[in-house]
Amino acid sequence: MKQSDQRTSSLDRLLVLPGSGALAFAAVFLVAGFYFGSTRDFGAFLISVPLLGLTFFGALIPTSWTTCINAQRQHALVAWTLIILTVPTYFMSYGITQRVRFLIWAQGRHDQLAQVSRKNGIVTWWDGWGMAGQDTDSYLVVDTKDQLASPSRAEQWTKEIGQTCGIWRTQRMWPRFYIVATYTNCPYEGVQDTLVK
């Protein structure tokens, strides 16, 4: 009796390992996807290709094994969910980190932001990425009409502030405040930080 109980408990412990490993590797894959998606650094992108591939297979193998041996079904289900969520997390993480960065940056600048929000313009250079002369820049800007996400308004706004570079992507940060990215190799001219340091 005792031997069969010991064998059963040993077997139970062996069946827990794949489920726990699946969860751990799936969680690492999700965190790696968030981290590498949140940066536009080209070096990080180059490193991300093999690392995301390794962590993907590192999560896929124990999760598949856990599913095949019908051990720890809840762990397998959560691991599959984490693996699937990694793809949208990768693509959404840059926008999330930029929003958090803006909120942290805006702390203590409320009066200055209120002052610059009265007139269309570029508040400051925000971010940039690229390599080998293929650079893209983004800026924190103000649109008093708060409609910069509209392509027609973006074109009109660009002319109003005296710039020629078109807007490739916009992200609304706050009422009237946007992060805009211009097309590659087309930075805004004469950008100066309009906020007093």
Percent of the chain with pLDDT over 90: 43
Contacts of residue 113, defined as CB under 8 A and 6 or more positions apart, other chains included, come to 106, 174, 177, 195
Confidence band for 15, pLDDT divided at 50, 70 and 90: very low
Contacts of residue 48, defined as CB under 8 A and 6 or more positions apart, other chains included, come to 32, 36
The sign of the CA dihedral 48, 39, 171, 28 is: positive
Per-residue pLDDT at 197: 45
Q: What is the CA radius of gyration of the chain?
A: 24
Helix (H), strand (E) at residue 14 = helix 2-37
Per-residue pLDDT at 14: 45
| Separation CA 115–CA 77 (nearest Å) | 51
Confidence band for 1, pLDDT divided at 50, 70 and 90: very low
Q: What are the pLDDT digits (tens) for 138-178?
A: 999 999 999 998 999 999 999 998 888 889 999 999 999 99
Our CA angle for 104, 107, 113, nearest 5°, is 115
Per-residue pLDDT at 18: 57
Our CA angle for 36, 56, 99, nearest 5°, is 25
Domain assignments of the chain as residue spans, ordered by start = 2-106, 110-182
